[in-house]
Homo-oligomer: A and B are copies of this chain.
């Protein structure tokens, strides 16, 4: 195996594939990237067994020669080392030459690295075939889907299923739901009515896919029994599905709204941010006191003192109401909506409430209040 490759393309490919390689791998050989130079181009594969990323660098991109002076072949090489080398070499081209299957010589005019490498047979067989139902989304839609839901997934491993985004395709709608049991985020997209699937994929992996797909126009999702396969540009990502059932959240979104507050998103974010200065004692708890006459955001600490912020620009419908919540949940919900105004809609003091954008019914955020006594 031998090739001379454009440094920038090589680095980009290495960085993409190495996103799947963790710092600690249960399977030691997975700390390597697999490089396969075939008729088509250079395939670079990285995996942590749950997530596998394979990207391809073609011989030519438009009129540009990317790979030249080559001999086909495969090798395994440390993800960390080869990516660092490609980053630090500052020539436009890098020469890569495997000697005796065990040493890769990576060089330009002034630097030479001799790196121990491993025979390609040592790498596990990774399934990257597209099976099952498939769906094509615009990358913009996919990015929004993840951005508006992923943050609400749990980051704790006690109930692994709650670390997932639950994707359900049925009857022309793709629904993404994430919940850590104290809050929930849901987003829907209109899709081809013939596509049906259910998949639970960790929010972390979904964010990784969204990040890698940035800059491409469409993304194809193929869901089979054990994995979801995402294809975009010259990259394929396979994500292992989480086993187990996602909690039934169909009826969790409150319907009988008795109180509603419409405010400017930035005003509300700043007010919560300031008032929460003193929420140190009871972690992140902020209170919202609303009536037609005024809206106040406040927090208290017996040791330090109190803070309160008045909102001057609001529309409130309903009787007077006071409610307390984890400020991070409400801030994240408002930010995820990304709209200039938001509506907070309440059923009662201790019932989950809705944070929504009145102009967009495809996305809804639900937050459970906290007791302050």
Q: Which residues of A contact B (CB under 8 A)?
A: 78, 81, 84-85, 88-90, 103, 110-116, 270-271, 273-275, 277-278, 303-312
Contacts and interface: CB of A to CB of B under 8 A. Distances in A.
Given A88-B273, A277-B81, A277-B85, A116 B309 contact: no
Shortest Cβ-Cβ A-B pairs, 5 listed: A115-B305, A114-B305, A88-B274, A113-B307, A111-B309
Given A88-B277, A110-B312, A310-B110, A81 B304 contact: yes
A90 B311 CA distance: 14
A312 B278 CA distance: 60
A274 B89 contact: yes
A277 B113 CA distance: 9
A78 B277 CA distance: 13
18 contacts: A81-B277, A84-B277, A85-B277, A88-B270, A88-B274, A88-B277, A89-B274, A90-B270, A111-B307, A111-B308, A112-B309, A113-B278, A113-B305, A114-B305, A114-B307, A115-B304, A115-B305, A116-B304
Contacts of A84: 277
A93 to B, nearest CB: 16
A268 to B, nearest CB: 12
Given A89-B274, A110-B309, A309-B111, A116 B303 contact: yes
Contacts of A303: 116
A55 B164 CA distance: 52
A167 to B, nearest CB: 39
Nearest to A270: B90
